[in-house]
Amino acid sequence: MLTLDEAVELTRTGDLWVFRGRSVPDRAIQTMTNSPVNHVGMAIVIEDLPPMMWHAELGRSLPDLWSGGNHRGVQLHDLRDAVTVWAARYGQRAWLRQLEPQATRDMEDAALRAVARLDGTPFPSTARLAGRWLRGRVPRLRRREREHTLERAYCAEVVAVTYEEMGLLPAGRRPNWYDPGRFWSGDDLGLLGEHKLGNEITVGVPLPAPGSDPA
């Protein structure tokens, strides 16, 4: 187990943060996708900037570091703040999976281009989320959709598209083929080249005092 401070210090661009909660929506996502987790985000760590998390969520409690405002959907957050909110406010357990070898500068640039293009994309409703995931598994329907057209996006789609643009995932699959469980070690993600993801490392997140705001 790592403390949150230790995990934030270790994380680099391309590392994954996966979460598992117990709420009804969390359980619904886990059941629907046959996955032990319900949320995934990707770390972006650029030079001397604070580590950031790139993900999609329904909440808008934290400022989006790319746009400067608070909104739902695809967002770039301070990593430490995002993990704290997911643990304290949403009741989630957190794990870190590290990308090996470390992402190159070209990969970081590709990740930032994905941020510029996708930031602010709305998060789908639960019903639409289920429909998108199911359509991603039906080849006949998948062929009808344009490649990488994301009018709405959930967390796994955002990470998958960003990984593909970084050259870590093969082209050809629709983003909605992915779900949070694809990024858990029990599934074979099939990264390209010599890249691989390490096993999950449990991250212990200190909870704020009762009555305080985790954001």
pLDDT at 143 over 60: no
Instruction: For residues 127-142, give the mean pLDDT.
Output: 43
Inside any domain, residue 172: yes
Alpha carbon of 168 to those of 22, 87, 159, 190, 204: distances in Å?
Answer: 31, 28, 11, 9, 28
Inside any domain, residue 215: no
- CATH code, domain carrying 125: 3.90.1720.10
Q: Give yes or no for a contact between 119 and 74, defined as CB atoms under 8 angstroms apart.
A: yes
Place of tokens 């995931």: 133
Q: How far apart are CA 153 and CA 175, in angstroms?
A: 9
Q: Which domain holds residue 151?
A: 2-204
For position 215, what pLDDT does the model report?
61
- For residues 152 and 164, the model is more confident at 164
Question: What tokens were used for 185?
Answer: 């070690």
Q: What is the pLDDT of residues 29-61, one digit of tens each?
A: 655 655 678 899 999 999 889 999 999 988 889
pLDDT-based confidence at residue 133 (cuts at 50, 70, 90): very low
What is the number of domains present in the chain? 1
For position 140, what pLDDT does the model report?
45
Q: How far apart are CA 56 and CA 159, in angstroms?
A: 9
pLDDT at 131 over 50: no
Q: How far apart are CA 147 and CA 16, in angstroms?
A: 24
For position 58, what pLDDT does the model report?
84
Inside any domain, residue 145: yes
Choose the weakest-confidence range: 5-9, 28-32, 164-168: 28-32
Residue 43 phi/psi, 5-degree rounding, is: -80, 140
pLDDT at 137 over 60: no
Q: Give yes or no for a contact between 101 and 28, defined as CB atoms under 8 angstroms apart.
A: no
For position 31, what pLDDT does the model report?
54
Partners of residue 95 on adjacent β-strands: 18, 202
Inside any domain, residue 90: yes
Question: What tokens were used for 114?
Answer: 């994905």
For position 135, what pLDDT does the model report?
45
Nearest to 50 by CA among 76, 24, 28: 76
For position 148, what pLDDT does the model report?
47
Using DSSP, state whether 44 is helix, strand or coil. Answer: strand
Inside any domain, residue 144: yes
- For residues 128 and 186, the model is more confident at 186
Nearest to 180 by CA among 110, 116, 129: 129
Q: HSE, CB side, 13 Å, CA atoms: give it for residue 177.
A: 20
* Mean of the per-residue pLDDT values of the chain: 83
Inside any domain, residue 213: no
Q: What is the pLDDT of residues 112-129, one digit of tens each?
A: 999 999 999 987 644 444
Inside any domain, residue 51: yes
For position 214, what pLDDT does the model report?
65
Classify residue 48 by burial, with Cβ atoms within 10 Å: 0-12, 13-18, 19+. Answer: exposed
Q: Give yes or no for a contact between 56 and 158, defined as CB atoms under 8 angstroms apart.
A: yes
For position 5, what pLDDT does the model report?
96
- For residues 13 and 136, the model is more confident at 13
Inside any domain, residue 35: yes
